[in-house]
Amino acid sequence: MVGPNGEGQAVDVPGARSWLFVPGDRGDRFAKAAASGADVVVCDLEDAVAVDAKEPARAEVARWLGAGGVACVRINARGTPFHDADVSALSGMRGLRAVMLPKAEDPRALGELSDALGPDTVVVALVETALGLHRAYDLASAPGVVRLAFGSIDFALDLGAEETPTSMLFARSSLVVASRAARVAAPIDGVTVALDDLSVVAADAATAASLGFGGKLCVHPRQVSAVNAAFSPGEEEVRRARRILDSVTDGGAGRLDGQMIDRPVVERARLVLRRAGVEPTPDDRRRS
């Protein structure tokens, strides 16, 4: 059973879809975030916290994690005056499931962070700069890193570009390819700043999913359900996956609705069923 603080929750960091930020100095919101339906709560010590609130926010997050709360924590970037204190305060906290490092650019720094945190805490590398994108494969391959995430707003700022689907397409696809090449989980897309129009969030999440992302950062609890839906197979997708598997025998090619069904299509159908939590039938297993 999951308690009001999220205690007892088994967080699947590699498979998590929705990552909900909550300011680290707003301890009154931690339990609400944990009850929002988000796969991962991200207590934020970086952008959401003013400089004069960094220390109390750090203490607030550590107190919650030590009292049974479960979360990922976005710490301050390496090279800032707050980074070392963040790492020191969080290391060994029983509720800490992952640490998100902003402005990730140095694979060696990620490995050092993983060593400092210990074997029970994984690292998410937040790519927000051109250099970080250039080194994406090396970042994804660093010890302790299980996923990349895309800080699209800061990335656009670093490039001096407007943040549009077209201008960010290369970066998004590069993160997907780098993650796959490094054999880590699909990356996490950046935030959508629209808070009231959930159709924008749903459209952004659907686009990210179509590119090969596995999740999305959220800035408000209202965004969570739309994000979870975008990264979960729908009923029609599951039905079609079943029909695809029914259309082939002995691993050979088949035909469905006027389209050829070959091995990659079959494997994709199996992936859809796994993501939907549908157990394969005996016939499905025999076709493997």
Contact by Cβ (8 Å): 128, 103:
yes
Q: Distance between CA 94 and CA 66 in Å, rounded?
A: 6
pLDDT of the residue at 135: 98
pLDDT of the residue at 279: 62
Range 189-204 average pLDDT: 96
**Which pLDDT band, with edges at 50, 70 and 90, does 283 fall under?**
low
Q: What are phi and psi of 247, to 5 degrees?
A: -90, -10
Q: Distance between CA 102 and CA 197 in Å, rounded?
A: 27
**Which pLDDT band, with edges at 50, 70 and 90, does 163 fall under?**
very high
* Nearest alpha carbon to residue 112 among 86, 158, 78, 62: 78
Percentage of the chain lying above the pLDDT 70 cut: 84
Decide: residue 246, CB within 10 A, 0-12 exposed, 13-18 middle, 19+ buried.
Answer: middle
The average confidence (pLDDT) of the chain is: 89
Range 170-186 average pLDDT: 98
Q: Is the pLDDT of residue 246 over 80?
A: no
Q: Distance between CA 221 and CA 18 in Å, rounded?
A: 10
Between the alpha carbon of residue 115 and those of residues 43, 98, 122, 223, 238, the distances in Å are 21, 13, 10, 34, 41
pLDDT in tens, 1-44: 244 445 545 689 999 999 999 999 999 999 999 999 999 999 99
Q: Distance between CA 284 and CA 17 in Å, rounded?
A: 27
Q: Distance between CA 282 and CA 189 in Å, rounded?
A: 36
Listed range (80-84, 113-117, 231-235) with the worst mean pLDDT: 231-235
Q: Distance between CA 159 and CA 163 in Å, rounded?
A: 10
Quick one: angle between helices 83-90 and 107-117, nearest 10? 30
Q: Distance between CA 88 and CA 94 in Å, rounded?
A: 14
Q: Is the pLDDT of residue 251 over 80?
A: no
SS3 73: strand
Q: Distance between CA 196 and CA 5 in Å, rounded?
A: 26
Q: Is the pLDDT of residue 205 over 50?
A: yes
pLDDT of the residue at 239: 72
Q: Distance between CA 267 and CA 136 in Å, rounded?
A: 27
* Nearest alpha carbon to residue 137 among 177, 166, 91, 190: 177
Q: Would you state the structure tokens that stand for residue 114, as one six-digit string?
A: 């993983």
**Helix/strand/coil (H/E/C) assignment for every residue in 154-221:** HHHHHHCCCCCHHHHHHHHHHHHHHHHHCCCCCCEECCCCCCCCHHHHHHHHHHHHHHCCCEEEECCH
Q: Distance between CA 45 and CA 49 in Å, rounded?
A: 6
pLDDT of the residue at 8: 46
* Nearest alpha carbon to residue 74 among 21, 130, 31: 21
pLDDT in tens, 118-140: 988 999 999 999 999 999 999 99
pLDDT of the residue at 46: 98
Percentage of the chain lying above the pLDDT 90 cut: 75
